[in-house]
Amino acid sequence: MKDNSTTPSPALALRPARGLTYQAGALLLSFLFLTVIILLAGESPFRVVSNLWDGAFGTPDQVARVFSTLAPLVLCSSGMIYTFTAGLYNLGVEGQIVAGAIATTLVLREFQGLLPAPAVVAAGIIAGMLGGVVWGLLAGVLNIFGKISEIFAGLGLNFVAQGLAIYLIFGPWKRPGIASMSGTEPFDESLWLGHIGQTDAAPVALVIALIVLVLTIIVMRNTHFGLRLKAVGQNPRASFILGVPATRLLLSSFIICGGFAGLAGGLQVVGLFHRLIPSISSNLGFLALLVVMLISFNALWIAPIAFFFSALNVGSLQLPMVLRMESSLSGVIQGTLVLMALLARGFSERAHKRAGGQ
């Protein structure tokens, strides 16, 4: 069920001007559609925009929250660059975040008090990464050796990871007294990642995300590995004939993506929630999929788009209080932009093909 498009995106690169016109059209259509939707909900679009801005950047606390959303989003988006480049739709990223969070929680629970706090936190973060790797590898093995579409292997494993987290929260790891959807007992404050002041922003998480992002950009642009991954993604058959070890490359992309997503999950535990909660991934994995689709898998664009999407997420949180509006507007905006961009890409490719002589 891979994308069997006969004209891969390079056609676009040759004619940036045409692509740009269509993308501008997509943006315009998105604005129109969103305006109609907001008017339908009985609000003025200008008030909504100014509220979103206030919600994201009004106070230092809110700005910090934007950055605390940005870190896991950048991590997952970076991971997704590898799987998308290899031609894989890794919809299992949500489960990989959850698996990472579970692994981190396990290590923190087992080692707290036994080792010095910083060592426990470090071990927890590494465990998170490994947890994500295991979950990513599982999807990869199912895909490559079990011949199961990575889409359904990943989706299925998402629900399994979610079920496992809920089982742990209500079962073996339940809070003394009552088990509830609010999660496990919070960890001791010594096991929290340092925050900037009283805000949500954990510098360590941001630094890790930045390192992973820069690494990803370098790997994709300047390494043999990145080049071969692209070859496998664009033409698996040809690269097989040319001797590119496709199986190994595909598995590596699953492992790398899983690792970064697991890292994000681990950081959600030590850096933000300080416990395991059922919605630990906060849907950031799926949001990262949208980010990467919007930027056509070009890692250079991750930072600005992920920042914009994080600001939307945080900015929309106060919509219910101020405007009595659902905060899911952020998802509507993000989804609309990506959908229009995908359609615009299709129009642009079609026009290019028609103009470029059959």
Q: What is the closest distance, in whole angstroms, from the C-beta atom of residue 178 to other proteins in the complex?
A: 12
In the complex with other proteins, the residue whose CB is nearer, 92 or 124, is 92
Which residue type does 170 have? F
Least distance from other proteins to the Cβ atom of residue 155, Å: 6
What's the closest the beta carbon of residue 180 comes to other proteins, in angstroms?
10
Torsion of CA 180, 175, 327, 23, to 10 degrees: -110
Q: Is the dihedral of CA 112, 113, 114, 115 positive or negative?
A: positive
CB-hemisphere CA count at 13 Å for 301?
A: 13
Q: CA-CA distances (angstroms) from residue 127 to 102, 119, 133, 322?
A: 9, 12, 10, 41
Q: Which residues pair with 115 in a beta bridge?
A: 112
Which two tokens mark 315? 């900015």
Is-contact 297 37, C-beta < 8 A?
no
**Cβ of residue 118: shortest distance to other proteins, in angstroms?**
35
Tell me whether residue 171 or residue 243 sits nearer to other proteins (CB atom). 171
Phi/psi for 115 (5° steps) reads: -115, 165
Smallest gap from residue 116 Cβ to other proteins (A): 35
Q: Closer to other proteins at the Cβ: 221 or 350?
A: 350
Cβ nearer to other proteins, comparing 209 with 287: 287
Q: In terms of CB distance, is 45 or 335 closer to other proteins?
A: 335
- In whole angstroms, the minimum distance from the beta carbon of 197 to other proteins comes to 32
Nearer to other proteins, 46 or 159 (CB): 159
Residue 312 dihedral angles phi and psi, to the nearest 5°: -60, -45
| Cα–Cα dist 59/65, whole Å | 10
Which one, 42 or 243, has the nearer CB to other proteins?
42
Name the residue nearer to other proteins (CB basis): 16 or 346: 346
How far apart CA 314 and CA 211 sit, in angstroms, is 24
Q: Are residues 65 and 58 in contact, defined by beta-carbon separation less than 8 angstroms? A: no
CB of 216 to other proteins, least distance (A): 20
Dist. CA 138–CA 142, nearest whole Å = 6
DSSP lists the bridge partners of residue 112 as: 115
- In this complex, which beta carbon is closest to other proteins, that of residue 133 or of residue 329? 329
Cα 258 to Cα 82: distance, rounded to the nearest angstrom:
10
Q: Least CB distance from residue 170 to other proteins, whole Å? A: 4
Binding site for other proteins (CB under 8 A): 1-7, 37, 40-41, 89, 91, 142, 145-148, 151-153, 155-157, 159-160, 162-163, 166-167, 170-171, 179, 278, 286, 289-290, 293, 325-326, 328-332, 334-336, 338-339, 342-343, 345-347, 349-350
Under the phi-then-psi rule, with left for phi > 0, alpha for psi from -120 to 50, and beta for the rest, what region is 164?
A: alpha
Q: Measured from the CB of residue 88, what is the shortest distance to other proteins in angstroms? A: 10
Distances (CA, A) of 119 to 115, 116, 140, 267: 6, 5, 31, 15
